[in-house]
Chain A
Amino acid sequence: MIKETKQKNSARAFISFDALFSILPIVFMVSFIIQMMSLTVSDAAYTMEKRENFNFLVATADYVVKTGSAMQGSTGQYITPNWIDTDFSEIEYEIYQGTGWDVAIDVGDEPPVDDATCIYRLVVVGGSRPEDGEIKKLYVCG
C-alpha cells in the first residue's frame, strides 16, 4: 500500500516537472511577443507623430511664405509670395490661436530653436522692391 502511494507520488512529481518545463518556454515566448508588439506599436505611434508634425510645419511654412507674411507689391493690390516681412510675432500668435501649435518662425542662417523639428523655405527679405532684397532662409520650427 505504502509502495503504491510512493509510486503515485513520484509519477505526479514527474508530471509536474514535465509541465513546468513545457510551460516556461511558452510563458517566455508569450511575454517576448507582447513586448515586441508594444515596442512596434509605440515606434509606429512616434513615427506617426513625427510625420504629423512635419506635415504641419510644411503647411505652416507655405502659408507664411505665400500669404501670412508676404509683402504687398508696389501697387498695393497684390501680395508677392516669397518676398516677406520679417516681423513674425503676429503670425506666430495667429497660428497658435488657430491651431494650438506653438511654432517659432525666423529668418537667418541657423534654426531659431535647437530642440525642435525645423524646416526652411527660401525667401527674399528687405528692400523697397524684391530686386533690392536679400535671399535668406526662413525657418519654421515646432
Chain B
Amino acid sequence: MQTLEAIISFMFFLFFATYMLAELDYTKPNYALYQYQLANDVWRVLYLKGALKDFSSTTTGHLIARTEMENIGELTGFCIYLQGIQTTNCLGNPGCSENNVEMKKTWFDGGIPKEMTFTVCTPES
C-alpha cells in the first residue's frame, strides 16, 4: 500500500513539474527583438526617404517628416513620435499601448550631430 502511495505521489509531482516547466517563459515567443527591429526600420526608412534631411526647428522640415510618418502609419498602424511628442502622425490619439519602443537616435542638423528621442508604438484601441 505504501508503494502504491509513493507511486501516486511521484506521478503527481511529475505532473506538476511538467506543468510548471511548460508554463515558463522560455517556450513563449519573445517579440521584444522584433519590435526593436521594426522601430529601427521606421527610423531607417524615414532617413532613406530624406524625411530627416531638413528636420530642424523649421516648420517645413517637420511637415516633410510628418508626411512620411503618416505614410508609415497608414501601412503599419504605428504611432511615431520624434523629439518627444513634437512631431507625430498621431495627433490627439488616446495614447500608446504597453508595446512601445523608445530610443535615442542621432541625426544631423546642418552637419551638426544631434540626439533626439524617437518613439514607435501601437495606439491603444
Contacts and interface: CB of A to CB of B under 8 A. Distances in A.
What secondary structure prevails in chain A residues at the interface with B? helix
Contacts of B49: 124, 130-131, 133, 135
Nearest to B74: A135
Nearest to A46: B27
The prevalent SS among residues of B at the interface is helix
A122 B14 contact: no
The bracket for how many chain A residues form the interface is 35 or more
B37 A58 contact: yes
Contacts of B44: 81-82, 122
A121 B41 contact: yes
B28 A51 contact: yes
Contacts of A93: none
Interface string A17-49: 000000000100110011011001101100110
Contact of A82 (B22, B34, B48): B48
Given A51-B27, A121-B41, A135-B72, A41 B48 contact: no
B71 interface: yes
Contacts of A80: 48
Contacts of A62: 37
A135 B75 contact: yes
B111 interface: no
Interface of A: 26, 29-30, 33-34, 36-37, 40-41, 43-44, 47-48, 50-51, 54-55, 58, 61-62, 65, 80-83, 109, 119, 121-124, 130-131, 133, 135-137
Interface of B: 4, 8, 11-12, 14-15, 18-19, 21-22, 27-30, 33-34, 37-38, 41-42, 44-45, 48-50, 68, 71-72, 75-76
17 contacts: A30-B11, A33-B14, A33-B15, A34-B11, A40-B15, A44-B18, A44-B22, A47-B28, A51-B28, A51-B29, A51-B30, A58-B33, A62-B37, A121-B38, A135-B68, A135-B71, A137-B75
